[in-house]
């Protein structure tokens, strides 16, 4: 439950986002596909519509031209005089007509009428691009030419398209050719844009370009049109790669109008708009997700995290933990917090009960132990006294008996749990006296107590188990003279007892064993009992510490607080 795992709000947010994005993306894919197809269809329709419009205008122009041709043919039957007058007027009202020329059966120029002047150029080198005799051999009825320059005049070479027609009721003249300025057709076609970059151009059925809005660019070979492709296409709209071609054949049957527009342009323009909307939408969704996450975190995961850290705090320190359940928030979390609060109170109550019971149990146990006398000790002591009496060492025997009596008196202490340190030291002294006799003065001992300490209270039989341990484990079996030194001194608010010996010492394992083992082999109080008692009453900061070096001796220190009255201690 530390920092691993995913946080709930993140998880929720993530799942919302995933779902939204999935839905959005699939919707976009689906929509854009249909949209794209729709767009292409619309573009094709638009393209075809424009081309149809332009082609009908050009058709009108062409029919106008054929009407003009008929008028001109009729006019040719007039006399020379009338003809020139007519052409003067005609050329003035039709500025798009560059020249009208007539030819005999051999293709020689008979007459030429033009606002540009007299036809001298064609006569000088007999180059005339306005009449294609070769073509007339296969199409004797007439034709409409590809663009070419007019070669009749020096100094001027305008680009024209020539309509050639056979003269029915001839007067020796066989053909009439009408040169029409390309710029007129240009007016119809150049302005007919399709979309932003699309345009129309005019070609003949073989795919030769008749007019293109960028004719000069094509002539300069800076642009090209794939006329081989468009010539092969039927009328109607076609999508070839990235380009939409809309094609209409004109009424003269020789020309075809091609509308060129670019799919890319149509699509990118529309898809960009779509993209903008989608991006905006995605932004809104993200914003919404942000708001949701903030709300979720405030209402759910934040209080839950508070609860979690409260639990951690409770785990760390069950005793000192205080919990105030939140008063606001989601109902579930509030219930959870209230339940937790209940739980905390119950656990703390239970803990208190258990501790109290433990203390009572220990007290009873210790009282029972303190009341016991080690039978071996008593038996050995009495045996020693009896032996002294037999030897006539009455004075020593008396001393021994006194010591024993003192020992027991202090042990009993009229049922008090705590006794003055002074008495405890007497108790220790008596015990040492007896043991010194028993061990035939194998060791010396000294008690050194600071005067102010003596009136404080301590547990009875605190020192005796330690001294007993020093004799049994330290002095016993020592060849040299043993020495046991007991001291009591103040240290701040604490009393520090130490029992030092210069015996054989203990290993760390032995120390651990002594500190843990219940006194089972012998009756009476063991070191562990002493330590337990101190810690139960005064807390873990107090108790016994053993320092020992093999062959150098052992120092046992007992730390306890200064206690002045028994009541003070009973309270704890």
Partner 1 sequence: MRKNKLLLLLLLTILLLSACAGTSESSSPQYKIYLISKSTSTEFWRSVFAGANAAKAEYNVDLIIRGPETEENYLGQNMYIQEAVNNHADAIVFSAISYMENAPAIDAAAKAGLKIIVIDSDVNSSNVSARIGTDNIQAGRITASAALASEEEHISVGIVNFAQVSRNGEEREIGLREELEKDPRVEQIYTVNTVTDHDAAREGAVSLLEEYPEINVLIGLNEPLGVGVAEASEALDLSGRVRVISFDSNIRCIDLLRSGDVSALIVQNPYAMGYLGVETAWKVLEGQSFRPDQLIDTATSIITKENMFTVEGQKALFSFG
Please provide the size of the chain in residues: 572
Residue 52 DSSP SS3: helix
Distance separating alpha carbons of residues 408 and 386, to the nearest angstrom = 19
Binding flag, residue 125, partner 1 (CB under 8 A):
yes
Report residue 451 CA to chain centroid gap: 72
Distance separating alpha carbons of residues 350 and 358, to the nearest angstrom = 12
CB 496 within 8 A of CB 482: no
- Eight-state DSSP code of residue 455: G
CB 485 within 8 A of CB 474: no
Among residues 220, 206, 148, which one has the least CA distance to residue 180?
148
Q: Which of 214, 252, 270, 510 binds partner 1 (CB under 8 A)?
A: 214
Q: How far is the CB of 29 from partner 1 (least distance, A)?
A: 18
Q: How far is the CB of 272 from partner 1 (least distance, A)?
A: 5
Of 60-68, 122-130, 357-365, 535-543: span binding partner 1 (CB under 8 A): 122-130
Rank residues 221 and 451 by Cβ distance to partner 1 and give the closer one: 221
Rank residues 40 and 281 by Cβ distance to partner 1 and give the closer one: 281
Q: Which of 148, 485, 545, 559 binds partner 1 (CB under 8 A)?
A: 148
Distance separating alpha carbons of residues 184 and 178, to the nearest angstrom = 14
Rank residues 166 and 190 by Cβ distance to partner 1 and give the closer one: 190
CB 64 within 8 A of CB 276: no
Residues 72, 75, 80, CA angle at the centre, nearest 5°? 125
Q: Which of 32, 183, 380, 535 binds partner 1 (CB under 8 A)?
A: 183
The size of the interface with partner 1 (CB under 8 A), counted in residues, is 43
Residue 407 CB contacts under 8 Å (≥ 6 apart), including other chains: 427, 430, 431, 434
Of 210-218, 416-424, 433-441, 484-492: span binding partner 1 (CB under 8 A): 210-218
Per-residue interface string for the shown chain with partner 1, residues 274-303, x marking contact by CB under 8 A: -xx--xx-xx--xx-xx--x---x------
Residue 87 DSSP SS3: helix
Alpha helices by DSSP H, listed for 174-262, are: 182-190, 215-219, 227-232
Binding flag, residue 124, partner 1 (CB under 8 A):
yes
Rank residues 183 and 476 by Cβ distance to partner 1 and give the closer one: 183
As beta bridge partners, residue 178 has 100, 163
* Pairing state between β 159-166 and 418-420: unpaired
Among residues 542, 549, 570, which one has the least CA distance to residue 505?
549
Rank residues 144 and 182 by Cβ distance to partner 1 and give the closer one: 182
Q: How far is the CB of 44 from partner 1 (least distance, A)?
A: 25
**Burial (CB count <10 Å: 0-12, 13-18, 19+), residue 516:** exposed
Of 9-17, 101-109, 324-332, 445-453: span binding partner 1 (CB under 8 A): 9-17
Binding flag, residue 487, partner 1 (CB under 8 A):
no
Q: How far apart are the first and last CA of the chain?
A: 37
Rank residues 7 and 367 by Cβ distance to partner 1 and give the closer one: 7
Q: How far is the CB of 129 from partner 1 (least distance, A)?
A: 6
Q: Which of 20, 91, 186, 233 binds partner 1 (CB under 8 A)?
A: 186
Rank residues 21 and 454 by Cβ distance to partner 1 and give the closer one: 21
Residue 296 DSSP SS3: helix
Residue 174 CB contacts under 8 Å (≥ 6 apart), including other chains: 103, 104, 105, 166, 167
Q: How far is the CB of 107 from partner 1 (least distance, A)?
A: 16
Q: How far is the CB of 6 from partner 1 (least distance, A)?
A: 10
Q: What is the largest CA-CA distance in the chain?
A: 194
Q: How far is the CB of 201 from partner 1 (least distance, A)?
A: 13
Backbone torsions φ then ψ of 155, nearest 5 degrees: 75, -20
Rank residues 305 and 341 by Cβ distance to partner 1 and give the closer one: 305
Q: How far is the CB of 254 from partner 1 (least distance, A)?
A: 17
Rank residues 150 and 421 by Cβ distance to partner 1 and give the closer one: 150
Q: Which of 215, 411, 464, 531 binds partner 1 (CB under 8 A)?
A: 215
- Eight-state DSSP code of residue 507: -
Long-range contacts of the stretch 567-570 (C-beta < 8 A, 24+):
569/417, 569/418, 569/457, 569/537, 570/417
Per-residue interface string for the shown chain with partner 1, residues 531-570, x marking contact by CB under 8 A: ----------------------------------------
Of 140-148, 311-319, 348-356, 415-423: span binding partner 1 (CB under 8 A): 140-148
Rank residues 24 and 454 by Cβ distance to partner 1 and give the closer one: 24
Helix (H) or strand (E) holding 181: strand 173-181
Angle between helices 527-538 and 331-371 (to 10 degrees): 140
Q: How far is the CB of 159 from partner 1 (least distance, A)?
A: 5
Q: Which of 217, 351, 398, 513 binds partner 1 (CB under 8 A)?
A: 217
Q: How far is the CB of 210 from partner 1 (least distance, A)?
A: 12
Among residues 155, 191, 157, which one has the least CA distance to residue 57?
191
Rank residues 282 and 449 by Cβ distance to partner 1 and give the closer one: 282
Rank residues 159 and 175 by Cβ distance to partner 1 and give the closer one: 159
Rank residues 124 and 564 by Cβ distance to partner 1 and give the closer one: 124
- Interface of this chain with partner 1, residues 10 to 69, rule: CB under 8 A: 10, 13
Distance separating alpha carbons of residues 88 and 113, to the nearest angstrom = 8
Residues in contact with partner 1 by the rule CB under 8 A: 7, 9-10, 13, 121, 124-125, 127, 129, 146-149, 151, 154-157, 159, 182-183, 186, 214-217, 219-222, 272, 275-276, 279-280, 282-283, 286-287, 289-290, 293, 297
């Amino acid at each position: 439950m530390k920092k691993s795992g995913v946080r709930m709000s993140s998880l929720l947010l993530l799942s919302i986002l995933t779902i939204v994005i999935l839905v959005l993306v699939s919707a976009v894919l689906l929509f854009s596909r249909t949209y794209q197809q729709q767009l292409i269809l619309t573009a094709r329709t638009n393209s075809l519509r424009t081309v149809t419009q332009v082609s009908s205008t050009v058709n009108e122009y062409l029919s106008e031209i054929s009407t003009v041709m008929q008028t001109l043919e009729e006019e040719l039957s007039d006399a020379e005089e009338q003809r020139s007058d007519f052409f003067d007027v005609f050329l003035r009202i039709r500025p798009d007509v560059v020249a009208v020329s007539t030819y005999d059966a051999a293709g020689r120029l008979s007459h030429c009428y033009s606002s540009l002047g007299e036809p001298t150029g064609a006569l000088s080198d007999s180059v005339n691009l306005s009449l294609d005799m070769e073509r007339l051999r296969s199409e004797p009825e007439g034709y409409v030419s590809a663009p070419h320059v007019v070669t009749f005049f020096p100094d001027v070479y305008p680009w024209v398209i020539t309509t050639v027609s056979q003269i029915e009721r001839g007067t020796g003249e066989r053909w009439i050719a009408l040169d029409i300025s390309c710029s007129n057709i240009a007016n119809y076609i150049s302005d007919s844009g399709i979309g932003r970059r699309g345009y129309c151009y005019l070609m003949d059925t073989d795919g030769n370009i008749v007019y293109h809005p960028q004719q000069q660019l094509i002539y300069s070979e800076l642009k090209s049109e794939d006329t081989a492709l468009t010539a092969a296409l039927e009328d109607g709209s076609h999508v070839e790669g990235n380009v939409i071609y809309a094609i209409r054949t004109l009424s003269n049957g020789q020309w075809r109008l091609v509308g060129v527009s670019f799919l890319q342009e149509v699509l990118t323009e529309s898809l960009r708009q779509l993209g903008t909307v989608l991006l905006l939408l995605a932004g809104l969704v993200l914003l919404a997700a942000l708001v949701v996450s903030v709300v979720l975190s405030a209402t759910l995961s934040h209080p839950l995290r508070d609860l979690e850290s409260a639990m951690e705090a409770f785990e760390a320190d069950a005793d000192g933990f205080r919990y105030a359940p939140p008063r606001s928030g989601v109902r579930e979390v509030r219930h959870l917090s209230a339940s937790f609060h209940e739980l905390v109170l119950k656990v703390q109550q239970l803990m208190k009960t258990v501790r109290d019971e433990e203390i009572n149990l220990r007290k009873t146990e210790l009282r029972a132990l303190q009341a016991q006398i080690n039978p071996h000790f008593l038996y050995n002591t009495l045996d020693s006294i009896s032996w002294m009496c037999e030897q006539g060492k009455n004075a020593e025997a008396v001393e021994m008996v006194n010591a024993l009596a003192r020992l027991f008196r202090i042990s009993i202490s009229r049922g008090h749990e705590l006794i003055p340190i002074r008495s405890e030291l007497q108790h220790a002294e008596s015990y040492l006296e007896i043991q010194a006799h028993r061990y035939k003065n194998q060791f010396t001992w000294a008690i050194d107590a600071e005067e102010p300490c003596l009136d404080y209270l301590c547990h009875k039989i605190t020192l005796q188990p330690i001294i007993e341990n020093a004799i049994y484990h330290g002095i016993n079996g020592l060849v040299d003279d043993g020495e046991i030194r007991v001291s009591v001194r103040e240290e701040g608010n604490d009393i520090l007892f130490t029992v030092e010996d210069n015996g054989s010492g203990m290993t760390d394992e032995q120390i651990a064993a002594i500190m843990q083992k219940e006194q089972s082999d012998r009756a009476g109080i063991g070191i562990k009992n002493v330590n337990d008692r101190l810690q139960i009453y005064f807390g873990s900061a107090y108790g016994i510490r053993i320092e020992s070096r093999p062959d150098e001796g052992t120092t046992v220190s007992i730390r306890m607080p200064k206690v002045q009255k028994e009541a003070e201690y009973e309270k704890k």
